């Protein structure tokens, strides 16, 4: 079964980069370009993992993540929060909103596929246990 990965990113260049990195794997890719679209799409599509840019139009990635975590359907969905620059306090803010992992741009595209695979594996194990 193909896992659904939702990429939330408003910068077209970064979106293309994520697409290129994830295309190598056999994932189904969903793309959202603002916070409201991300929230609607997540609820509709129930992705297996979310790559969440934090700085987004309409609703921030922090708010989208908080909203999703209020929903029991998303309590275990891996979310990777990504900020444009590593600023002091970002890690705490991003993890505090409910993201599992914090990354800052430029994203390490070599490490990303492995991280995603690992998170998917972990969440699958978790859902099998419950
Ligand atoms: Mn952005």
Task: Tell me what pLDDT residue 113 has.
Answer: 93
Q: Are 36 and 60 in contact (CB under 8 A)?
A: no
pTM of the model: 0.95
CA of 15 to the centre of ligand 1 (A): 10
Give Cα separations from 27 to 1, 57, 61 (angstroms).
Answer: 9, 26, 22
Which residues have C-beta under 5 Å from ligand 1, the single-atom ion? Answer: 10, 53, 55
CATH number assigned to the domain comprising residue 29? 3.40.50.2300
CA of 56 to the centre of ligand 1 (A): 5
pLDDT tens for 90-105 read 999 999 999 999 999 9
Decide if 48 is inside a domain: yes
CA of 107 to the centre of ligand 1 (A): 13
pLDDT tens for 28-41 read 999 999 999 999 99
pLDDT band at 13 (very low <50, low <70, confident <90, very high): very high
Tally Cβ neighbours within 10 Å of residue 118. Answer: 12
Tokens standing for residue 59: 């609703």
pLDDT tens for 39-70 read 999 999 999 999 999 999 999 999 999 999 99
Q: Is the pLDDT of residue 130 over 80?
A: no
pLDDT band at 124 (very low <50, low <70, confident <90, very high): confident
Q: Which of residues 128 and 46 earns the better pLDDT score?
A: 46
CA of 70 to the centre of ligand 1 (A): 23
Range of the domain at 28: 4-124
CA of 97 to the centre of ligand 1 (A): 17
CA of 55 to the centre of ligand 1 (A): 4
CA of 61 to the centre of ligand 1 (A): 9
Q: Is the pLDDT of residue 125 over 90?
A: no
Residue 58 CA to residue 60 CA, distance in Å, equals 7
Decide if 120 is inside a domain: yes
- Total domains, the chain: 1
């Amino acid at each position: 079964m193909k896992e659904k990965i939702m990429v939330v990113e408003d910068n077209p260049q970064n979106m293309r980069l994520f697409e290129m990195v994830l295309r190598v794997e056999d994932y189904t890719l969903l793309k959202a370009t603002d916070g409201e679209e991300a929230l609607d799409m997540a609820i509709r599509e129930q992705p297996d993992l979310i790559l969440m840019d934090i700085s987004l139009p309409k609703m921030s990635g922090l708010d989208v993540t908080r909203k999703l975590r209020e929903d029991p359907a998303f309590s275990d969905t891996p979310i990777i929060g990504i900020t444009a620059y590593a600023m002091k306090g970002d890690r705490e803010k991003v993890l505090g909103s409910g993201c599992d992992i914090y990354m800052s741009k430029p994203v390490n595209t070599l490490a990303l596929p492995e991280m995603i695979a690992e998170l998917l594996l972990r969440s699958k194990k978790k859902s099998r246990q419950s």
